[in-house]
Structure formats: C-alpha cells, structure tokens
Amino acid sequence: MVVHLVPVTRIRELDALRGFAVGGIMLVNTWQHTTKQQTGVDWTIEALFQSRFYPIFSMLFGISFLLFLRGNSRWALLSRLFWLFCFGLVQRTFYEGEVLTDYAFYGAVVLLPASFLAPGLPVLVLGLAAVVWAVTVGGGPLLIPGLFLVGMALWQLRPPRWLLLPSFAVAALATALLTAAWSSTHAWSTYSVAALAGAAAYSLGLLLALRPWSAAVLEPLGRMALTNYVSGTAIIMLAGPLVDADRTRWAVVALTVVTVAAQVLLSRWWLARFRYGPLEWIWRCLTWFRRVPNRLESGRDQNRPLPDPGLS
C-alpha cells in the first residue's frame, strides 16, 4: 500500500491547548472516580473544573479531523478512528469512564459526513444546534458531536486573533454569572451551559496568556495526549483506594499535580528521542498497517515536519 503523507509542521498553540486539557481532565477524572465528600475541594472542582476540559478536547478533535484530511483519504481516517475505538475497548477493561470509543464513533458518524458540507458557517450552525439540543436533553457525552462540529467550523472560519480578548471577556463573565446561578438553583441545564462557557473562557484565556515557558511545559503533554490520558486513568484506578482514605480530599489535587508533573517530564524526555509518544506511534502503525519511523536520528530532526499532527 502506498501511503501519501503531506508534511506539515505542528501547530504549537493547539499542542499547548491540548496539553492544558489533558491536565484538567486528569484532575476531574481523579475527583470523579473517588468518593466525594462535602469539602471545599469537592465544591471547587465541581463548580470550576468539572465538564470544563472535555469540551476543549472535543473541539480540538474536530480541528484534528481537518488537519488529518489535508493530505490523507477518508478511508485512512476511518482506519484511524477504528483503531482509536479499539484503544477505547482495551481501556474500558480497567476504566469504565473512557471516552475514546465515543470519540471514534462520533468521529465516524458525524465528522465524516460533515466533511462533505460547505465549510464554515453551515458546519458552525449545525454544531451549535447540536450543542443546544444536547444541553436540553441532559448534556454529557451527547455534547461531543456538536462540539466536534464547532471545532471543525472554527478552524474553517479562522476568526481573527483580535477577537480573542473580547471573546474571553464575554465567556468569563458568562461563566461567573451562570456558575453563581447554578450554585443557587442546582439546575443541570444551567450547569451545562456554565461549563461550556467555562471551557471557552479557559481556552481563550490560555491562548491570550501563553508564553514560551508555559508552551514548553504544555506542548509535550499535548503531543502525547493519548499516552498521557490512558496512563493517567491507569494511575487513578491504582491510586483510588489511597485517595479515598483522605477525608480532606487534598489527595485528589496532590495525585493530579504529581502525575501531570511526571507526565510533562517524561513527555519532554521521550520527545527529545522520538517523534511520537508510545501509544501515538502504535496508533499510526496500525492506521497505515506498516511500521512508521519514530526514533530521532539527531537533534535537528526534532524540528522536521511531522505528518498528520492533529490527532496526536
């Protein structure tokens, strides 16, 4: 089989944003899979962090879809999604809350047909309608397909950078007001909208605040997102009993900080020697049904163009 790959450089802001989402997901997953208490830590995570990071990751997945299609066929993409689904099935054997199967399924049944639509506004309208519908019927995983489409549309429309600051201000204000409203009413629909506004505020705020030093921390985490997400869930399941034993709930934060810090260091070390993370490399080999070169031959190779970066 002849594989045609169009070399493209990695988009560093997307890597950093993906790394930020991976770290936030680690915190929320640790909290969700341990026994909750009525502590300030639990309230803070529920009010400010839960459901704020997977929307970011979902929109990035929609962008990744388009990046992959720059120079690869839809059949190759279906192969990629199939193997992602298989990764999810394996992960489900030890972690019931996995989302890889959802991402693979919705990628095939939503993003693939949407790639035939006129780009831009039609995709955005469809995505926003799907998000509104999902909020009205309960949110959760049903938000994923709409968020996929919103991410796809934003990449197609490429809004100007000067919109970042006003958009961040609106999203931050909406988050504050909606979170306050949820605190008094505990309405799930209000919480869902507050979480989506929070996801927008966090992602826009990060893009505004991103500096070389913070990008250097987040990018390796994002480039190895699949490896770090799966390994993080394994750590949660192994350390769950120890975290449950802490009634103050600070163990949730401690486990997250230690795990993410270790993942950042290991990701930097690994990517200084290899092009792709361990699971990312296996994923590519399975997608193309051949061995994909991975080891870097010299320090200069680290800056070489990399194929299909977006789904890392």
Nearest CA to 18 out of 49, 58, 48, 50 is that of 58
For the chain, give every domain's residue range: 1-50+211-300
pLDDT single digits (tens) 251-290? 999 999 999 999 999 999 999 999 999 999 999 999 999 9
pLDDT digits (tens, 9 = 90+) for 79-123: 999 999 999 999 999 998 899 999 999 999 999 999 998 889 999
Distance CA 233, CA 250 (A): 18
Mean pLDDT computed over 34-62: 93
287 CB-near residues (< 8 Å, 6+ apart): 76, 79, 80, 83
Of 2-6, 35-39, 52-56, 204-208, the range with the lowest mean pLDDT is 2-6
Q: What integer best gives the mean pLDDT of the chain?
A: 90
pLDDT at 312 over 80: no
User: pLDDT above 70 covers what percent of the chain?
Assistant: 92
- Rounded to whole angstroms, how far apart are CA atoms 152 and 175? 23
Q: How confident is the model at residue 10 (pLDDT cuts 50, 70, 90)?
A: low
Query: Which pTM value belongs to this model?
Result: 0.89
Q: pLDDT band at residue 301, thresholds of 50, 70 and 90?
A: low
Name the pLDDT band for 186 (thresholds 50, 70, 90): confident
Q: State the DSSP string of the chain.
A: -------B---HHHHHHHHHHHHHHHHHHHHHTS---SSHHHHHHHHHTTTSSHHHHHHHHHHHHHHHTTTS-HHHHHHHHHHHHHHHHHHHTT-TT--HHHHHHHIIIIIHHHTTSPTTHHHHHHHHHHHHHHHHHT-GGGHHHHHHHHHHHHHHH---GGGHHHHHHHHHHHHHHHHHHHHHH--HHHHHHHHHHHHHHHHHHHHHH--HHHHHHHHHHHHTHHHHHHHHHHHHHHHHHHHHT-TT-HHHHHHHHHHHHHHHHHHHHHHTTBSS-HHHHHHHHHHHTSPPP-B-SSGGGGGS-BSS-TT-
